[in-house]
Amino acid sequence: MSYTYTFWLAVVGLFLGHGLPGAIVGALIGFVLDNMRYSQRRSAVPEAGGFIRPLFELLGAVAKSDGRVSEAEIAIAERLMTRMGLEQAQRQEAIASFNRGKAPEFDVTRSIHELRDWVGLRRDHAFPVLDVVIETVLAEGNPPPEKMAILRQLAFAMRVSDMELMALMAMKGYAWNATGGGPRGGHGGGGYVPPQRSSRGPDPYAVLGISRDADERAIKRAYRKLISEHHPDRLGDLPEDMRRQAEARASEINAAYERVKAEKGFK
């Protein structure tokens, strides 16, 4: 959600209202206008499950981004349709959307913006969407920069940080260290080390998004924040498959926390 009106009406109120009271009144009016605009924009997001069309468009674009769509990527899309329990009409829309997304001229920006608008301020809905896209990104093993660029662009649009994205990748057994350098969400693929599958399984510190020298207080704070954001009970009416994904993430977070606690020696 954008706070353009909130900011500018606060500035106007500051000067015309002769100080802080005017700025507060202006900001309140702007906040109402921003909320109205946000509600109108969300109502424009297409139906078909609210996210099915833009999601499968994005999956098609991810699959095609390195030049070819593999059988593994097609199989993931088909399994996802089955797991989500799509009705026949929804399944046909998902297939058509996947095919649109893999067209050479397709621009992922619109699909990403529609998914962002569908998620809104519900970060607990952002993670299941990212989970689904990550499956396609990792379909053929270590992902190429083209796939990671789209994934990072989606994460950035949903206000999910590199550290949080690294944690999601770590839960799937991948180690990835961002090193800075190019703009977030860019397509260049530079400025970071792509994730590589780890033979040792998920790194519990990466899963929790903490450094190895974090103290007990920081570890517990990171755990509480993660488990509250990923708890499946917060997902509302999302499809059952996405709920199961959230349950798996919560289990990974709990397992990582127990491993770190054992290593650090606290309860």
Look at residue 62 in the predicted model and tell me its pLDDT: 96
Residue 255 domain-assigned?
A: no
Q: List the structure tokens of 79.
A: 């399994």
Buried/exposed code over 76-108 (b: 16+ C-beta within 10 A; e: otherwise):
bbeebbeebebeeebbebbbebbeebbeeebeb
Query: How crowded is residue 214: how many other Cβ atoms within 10 Å of its Cβ?
Result: 17
Q: Which of 170, 194, 190 is nearest to 180 (CA)?
A: 190
Domain count, the chain: 1
Residue 19 domain-assigned?
A: yes
Residue with tokens 């909320």: 35
Residue 23 domain-assigned?
A: yes
Contact of 27 with 66, CB cutoff 8 Å: no
Look at residue 202 in the predicted model and tell me its pLDDT: 75
Query: Coil, helix or strand for 177?
Result: strand
Range of the domain at 37: 4-43
Rounded mean pLDDT for each run of 10 residues along the chain, 267 residues in total: 64 67 70 62 44 93 93 92 86 94 93 90 81 89 89 92 83 64 40 59 78 86 78 61 72 84 82
Look at residue 196 in the predicted model and tell me its pLDDT: 65
**H-assigned helices in the chain:** 4-16, 20-43, 52-64, 71-83, 88-101, 108-119, 123-137, 145-157, 162-171, 204-208, 216-230, 240-264
Q: Which tens digit of pLDDT belongs to each residue from 174-192?
A: 766 554 433 344 434 444 5
Look at residue 77 in the predicted model and tell me its pLDDT: 93
Residue 89 domain-assigned?
A: no
**What percent of the chain is predicted at pLDDT more than 70?**
69
Residue 113 domain-assigned?
A: no
Distance of CA 102 to the CA centre of its chain: 20
Look at residue 181 in the predicted model and tell me its pLDDT: 39
Residue 22 domain-assigned?
A: yes
Residue 198 domain-assigned?
A: no
Contact of 165 with 151, CB cutoff 8 Å: yes
Look at residue 43 in the predicted model and tell me its pLDDT: 41
Q: Which tens digit of pLDDT belongs to each residue from 44-89?
A: 333 435 688 999 999 999 999 999 999 999 999 998 888 888 889 8
Residues 6 or more apart whose CB falls under 8 angstroms from that of 11 comprise: 23, 26
Residue 257 domain-assigned?
A: no
Q: List the structure tokens of 1.
A: 């959600």
Look at residue 142 in the predicted model and tell me its pLDDT: 83
